[in-house]
Chain A
Amino acid sequence: MPFQRYLLGLGFLSPALLVLAGLFLMPVALTGIIAFTNMSISTGVSGGAHVITGNLLTGLRDDGVEPAALDRLAETVFEVTPEALARARAAGVDPAFVADIEERLVGRRFTDGRAFERELKGLPHRPRAIRDLKVAADLFGASILNTRFADAAAARQAVVGVLPDAPEATVDRIVAASYTGWQWTTGNFARLLSSPDTLRLIVNTVFYVAATLSFTVFVGLFLAIGTFYLPPATAGVFSVLWLLPRLTPVVLYAVMWKWFTWEGGFVYTAAEALGLPAFNYMKGSVPTAWTIVILVNGFIGASFSMILFSSALKAIPIQQLWASEVDGASRWQQVRYIVLPQLRWPILFVVSYQTLSLLSSYQEIWLTTNGGPGRTTSVWALESFNTALNNYTGDLQYGLGAAMAVMLVVVGVTLSVIYLRLFRFDDLVGRPKIEF
């Protein structure tokens, strides 16, 4: 029956597998794909079109495409011919208006669209709505300039229509250059490797993760052990208080830190009263900004590690502590020789889990210092978010931001493997050596 057992196991796992696929594997796969594109706000996400514009023609001229061909593409021509008049009638333009055009403008040729429109505006049966007039005017135009073609075939047909004698290579070049959408590239990774910003961001991120992690583990341990030795009721009150940073919604938590550290806040007022420098401690200096970033994240992490360590402490057989007291052990000796050795696995778990969590977290920094002053407290994850989705100039570079995120995933997976090996997780989940 092993097959049925596997099926049952898979059945139980299926919700987790679905969540894993939907919330982790698919976003990672999509990010991986986008990382190899030049997708940005200009190219759009859903695919581009083909547009021949004045700037494009200037660029092609600089690249050596035959100027005569480009001049012909740049031409804007409106001609009142019998064919164009028939087109207008077939398109449902008011017959009286078409009759006006035929009567007054037939045979005329305009190289300026606005001049042609002005002529149309002077006709007795011109449409009331300017949009209707412009739609009618377009039916007399023969220019492909600024027309948005949905695909390359349509663009090619239009270009060949204007340049029937042009060599195929020239047409190919024009059509390819007219594409507005994204393209495949490895350029994002090359940019990250060559950018002087990369090293600074790595240093910032390593510092942030290491400092916050140390705070998380040591404060969490201190709290867990401290509350372990307190009477249960008092310990309960302290535990709940220390859980508040984790329980408070992140935006509210960030606002509270602002009240605490900004001008007029508690720290500012206290510093002023004590004659110490009073300024915005969150944004006013690099050391205090880093301190705030580490504390804001550290308190959340500390409450998480406190819960884990506290539950692990409760699993320590109390007889061991009694025996040590009989032997005359001090509190510190109990902690050093009984408690800490038995907290090895929870500590390793907190270290590995929090490393990965901190590497990818940016929301607390975004809501507090926002990477400032300057960019001194910016980390890799925040920079990736800002590059792809959030910046003042609106220059959203999805491809580059995704490449940064992919690198974060690679670092995270590598660290996971290292942690699994280094901390021998196999032993942790292996069969117990003594069967009860």
Chain B
Amino acid sequence: MSYRKISVTLAVASAILASTAAAALARDVTVKVWSGGTGPTANYRIDAIKMAADLYQQEAAIRGEDIKITVEGQAWSGWDDFKQAVTLAGESNTAPNIIVSGHEDIGSWSKSGLLRPIEDYVDFDAWPLNQIYPNLIAVSSFDGKIWGIPQDAEARPFFFSKTHLRQIGYSDADIEALPAKVESGEYTLYSMLDDVKKMQDGGFVEKGKGFLPRPVNGTDYWQFYTSFGGEMVDEESGKLLLDTAALTGMYQFFVDAVDKGVVPATHLGSTWDSWHQAVAGDQVGAWHAGTWQKAEWETKWGLKDFFGQMQYSLIPAGNAEGHANTLTHPLVYLLSKAGSDEDAALSAELITIASEPRINALHAVKSGHLAIGEAEAAIPFYANDRWTATATEGLLPHAKPIPNDPNFGVVWKAMFKGLEASWTKTSSVADAVKAVETEVKTSLGDAIIIR
């Protein structure tokens, strides 16, 4: 073989070897994202991770790293089936890499070993995580560790129909002054019941539609417990707390609403569709909802003039012991135990990129949620949106989260069971409260303080 032939053969062999080596170095990763409580307007919970993957690949290419990331997203509109799916997938080692869920799941999921603490994978001192509101980081933490990165924030205000308020004699100035009266405690939940009764009696609102609360279980109902002075956690010991007086006040309020005929005894368990239709169609006197539901009313239920049609405020106080309040229920990006440590590090990096203010603002503005950080709140796209900006200023400072305690689910379930029993008059308020007390005491023993 001539020298020339040997050279050509060697060159071809090297080229083939080089190409296979390059192929061998290329990393092909699939990142699975599952998101709960995610309707059509909240698509960016998953799409933000896809955008992050795209950015990451471009950065990697510049660094000379060859990586192909496929993001497989799955969204659940509800919570029951989502939480069941995540839990069972976790038990069978098929959990997704990234879970988007309510922060209250951190307690039980971290205890059962389903999650990796995200603080072991990301840098909270660096951009963009260093601009996230500290209270949201606190909400994403449990037992000394940061387990998640806030995906969004929200508040759950009280709404009034401006049309129906005017019909019972409110002037425009009175309507404008209403939120301040609610905040000061001058206007209470019982003032609201009187007003919506007037709306019904005057024939402006159909009977049973004066006050239309959320038709199914939700964190919202803890707001009414707070309105009657209830606290969910004992500040001193950090233990869960059940305030039976506040619970009695809350249950009695809904029973009184039923007795006044402003809400049906069978309201709980009715359908979301009829609720949306009624509130967006201005058929209701007062109701409570999440800030994000404005987007749903506009996109799906034909609401044209939100600010012209609806007034919003904090949830009014129920009695002298309680205070006006609202609740925030941030969703968080969680890192599951699934996959290798390297996969988890990549997933964490994608979550970090997805938390970039501009990317997160897409979700906030489109879905009516609130900013997760200072820099995001300053982005004109967000700051110039009237609803997100006013809700951030007027509601978020008053918003409190529910606790991350792994036993909180037991208390929540018992609280709602008692609410259903008293609301439908299956049992008296006193019996319902007693049943909740018995249930949480039997289940949790000393882990809860009953006051």
Contacts and interface: CB of A to CB of B under 8 A. Distances in A.
Interface of A: 40-46, 48-49, 51, 53-55, 58, 62, 118, 121, 129-131, 134, 145-146, 148, 180, 187, 190-191, 194-197, 200, 262-263, 280, 283-286, 289, 369-376, 389-397
A55 B143 contact: yes
Contacts of B407: 42
B423 interface: yes
The dominant DSSP class at the A interface is: loop
Interface stretch (B115-123, B187-195, B281-289, B319-327): B115-123
A131 B439 contact: no
Nearest to A386: B80
A202 to B, nearest CB: 14
Given A42-B407, A396-B83, 18 more contacts: A40-B108, A42-B111, A53-B144, A121-B123, A130-B122, A130-B126, A131-B120, A134-B120, A191-B442, A195-B435, A196-B427, A284-B264, A373-B267, A374-B426, A375-B420, A389-B84, A392-B217, A394-B105
Interface string B392-411: 00000000000000111110
Nearest to B126: A130
B79 interface: yes
B20 interface: no
Contacts, number: 162
B269 interface: yes
The dominant DSSP class at the B interface is: helix
B266 A180 contact: no
Contacts of B172: none
Given A197-B435, A390-B81, A395-B410, A374 B424 contact: yes
Contacts of A45: 91
Given A41-B112, A190-B442, A376-B426, A134 B83 contact: no
B431 interface: yes
B238 A55 contact: yes
Contacts of A373: 265-270, 424
Contacts of A397: 410
Contacts of A54: 143-144
Contacts of B218: 392
A131 B341 CA distance: 9
A374 B418 CA distance: 10
B144 to A, nearest CB: 4
B438 interface: yes
B81 A372 contact: no
Q: What 3 A-B pairs are tightest by C-beta distance, nearest first?
A: A372-B269, A395-B409, A374-B424
A283 B271 contact: yes
Interface string B11-29: 0000000000000000000
Given A49-B113, A395-B412, A374 B423 contact: yes
Size category of the binding interface on chain B:
35 or more
Contacts of A51: 111
A200 B435 CA distance: 12
B410 A41 contact: no
A195 B438 contact: yes
Contact of B125 (A121, A131, A145, A286): A121
Contacts of A44: 90-91, 112-114
B266 A131 contact: no
A145 B431 CA distance: 43
A374 B216 contact: no
A263 B206 CA distance: 15
B94 interface: no
B84 to A, nearest CB: 5
B267 A129 contact: no
Interface string B168-204: 0000000000000000000000000000000000000
B123 A130 contact: yes
Interface in B108-143: 108-109, 111-114, 117, 120-123, 125-126, 143
5 contacts: A51-B111, A280-B271, A283-B266, A393-B104, A394-B105
B319 to A, nearest CB: 24
Contacts of A62: 237, 446
A374 B217 contact: no
A390 B144 contact: no
Nearest to A180: B111
A58 B447 CA distance: 11
B193 to A, nearest CB: 20
Contacts of B126: 130
A397 B336 CA distance: 21
A284 B112 CA distance: 40
A223 B437 CA distance: 50
A49 B110 CA distance: 11
Nearest to B86: A394
A63 to B, nearest CB: 9
B413 interface: yes
A286 B144 contact: no
Contact of A393 (B143, B217, B267, B443): B217
A118 B104 CA distance: 29
Q: Which residue among A121, A145, A372 has the maximum number of chain B CB atoms within 10 Å of its CB?
A: A372
B50 to A, nearest CB: 22
B389 interface: no
B251 to A, nearest CB: 12
Interface string B209-238: 000000011100000000000000000011
B304 interface: no
Interface in B258-300: 264-271, 274
A283 B269 contact: yes
Nearest to A54: B144
Given A131-B348, A180-B112, A196 B435 contact: yes
Nearest to A45: B91
B366 interface: no
B149 to A, nearest CB: 13
A146 B145 contact: yes
B358 interface: no
A294 B423 CA distance: 23
A148 B117 CA distance: 11
Nearest to B124: A114
A180 B123 contact: no
B143 A374 contact: no
Contacts of B57: none
B270 A392 contact: no
A264 B122 CA distance: 52
Nearest to A392: B217
B409 A286 contact: no
A371 B417 CA distance: 12
Contacts of B264: 284
A35 to B, nearest CB: 16
B43 interface: no
B163 interface: no
Contacts of A286: 266, 424
B66 to A, nearest CB: 16
A134 B121 contact: yes
Nearest to B107: A42
Q: Which residue among A118, A187, A392 has the maximum number of chain B CB atoms within 10 Å of its CB?
A: A392
Contact of A200 (B125, B345, B426): B426
A374 B112 contact: no
A375 B406 contact: no
B417 A375 contact: yes
A136 B83 CA distance: 35
B244 interface: no
A390 B104 CA distance: 16
B79 A392 contact: yes
Contact of B87 (A41, A53, A196, A280): A41
B144 A395 contact: no
Contacts of B91: 44-46
A332 B81 CA distance: 52
Contact of B108 (A196, A283, A371, A395): A395
B409 A43 contact: no
A197 B237 CA distance: 31
B51 interface: no
Contacts of A145: 144
Contacts of B113: 44, 48-49, 148, 180
